[in-house]
Amino acid sequence: MKKLFAVVVGSILAVSALAQTPVWNEQKGELKTALDAKGDAKRGEAAFEQCTGCHRSDGSGRVSGAYPRLSGQHVSVLIKQIVDIRSGQRLNPKMEPFLGDHGLTPFDIADVAVYINSLPIAAANGRGTGKLLDKGKELFDRDCASCHGGKGEGDAAKFYPMVAAQHFKYLQREVTFIRDGDRRNSNPDMVKVIKAYTPTEIEAVSDYMASLAAPKR
């Protein structure tokens, strides 16, 4: 009886969890409001001030990979990640205090995203050893380019981030999180594609993405 009860409770919790998990790119609620808003870069600059301690005033993040490069990233991608962190769909405890309802409205999120997108993309970024670039290119062309673009430029309409010129250590960490199911807002198609990646393959493809030149603007 106890075993049956545990199974029933487990099933209920599983169904409940699924019910609370939004479709990866579903546009509704706060996400839709922010995406539909006409962001203002000037207002966004003021709101972004609270982010500069980690992401730096130019949005370049940290070469160590502790914080990603944000400058030049697609507005839609930035909005989705902020909304996902705020809703708990993507875990990021360091950012949560800055993203609560009391801190930013959906319209503020749109403003910040437009401002960050407008920032010049600095040339320098964290790189790997460069020893696995050929393997990384092979993996990227086979598994990643169809979504993230042949040059790593991403796709704003589909929420695929620009990965070119991102910091190597950040890419390596996040790809590992996605593979292992630790980044809960990941595109399920990507999870399937990289599920079998070894640490060496993750290092290779991350180093290759970091080596790609940022798109000209």
Q: Report the pLDDT value the prediction gives residue 97, as an integer from 0 to 100.
A: 67
Q: Which amino acid is at 31?
A: L
Give just the sign of the alpha carbon dihedral 46, 48, 54, 55.
negative
CATH class of this structure's domain 133-211: mainly alpha
What pLDDT does 89 receive? 86
**pLDDT value at 25 more than 90:** no
d(CA 187, CA 172): 17
Torsion angle, CA of 92/65/182/148, rounded to 10 degrees? 110
Q: Could you give phi then psi for residue 160, rounded to 5 degrees?
A: -85, 120
Q: Cβ contacts of residue 151 below 8 Å, gap of 6+?
A: 164, 212, 213, 215
Q: What pLDDT does residue 3 have?
A: 40
Same-fold call for 23-118 versus 133-211: yes
Contact (Cβ atoms closer than 8 angstroms) between residue 143 and residue 201: no
Q: Please tell me the predicted confidence (pLDDT) of residue 102.
A: 58
Tell me how far CA of residue 22 lies from CA of 30, 88, 141, 159, in angstroms: 12, 11, 29, 15
The token duo for 20 is: 């609370």
For residues 1-29, give the mean pLDDT.
44
Average predicted confidence (pLDDT) for the chain: 87
Percent of the chain surpassing pLDDT 70: 84
The per-residue pLDDT for range 91-136, each reduced to its tens digit, is 877 777 667 665 689 999 999 999 999 999 977 899 999 999 999 9
- pLDDT in the model for residue 101: 61
Say if residue 21's pLDDT is above 70: no
CA–CA separation, 183 vs 31, rounded Å? 18
Fold that domain 23-118 belongs to in CATH: Cytochrome Bc1 Complex; Chain D, domain 2 (1.10.760)
Output b/e per residue, 122-157; b: 16+ Cβ within 10 A.
beebbbbeeebbebbbebbeebbeebbbeebbbbbe
User: What are the domain boundaries of the chain?
Assistant: 23-118, 133-211
What pLDDT is attached to residue 88?
A: 86
H helix runs in the chain, sequence order: 2-20, 29-36, 41-48, 52-55, 75-87, 96-99, 106-118, 133-139, 145-148, 168-180, 188-194, 199-211
pLDDT band at 4 (very low <50, low <70, confident <90, very high): very low
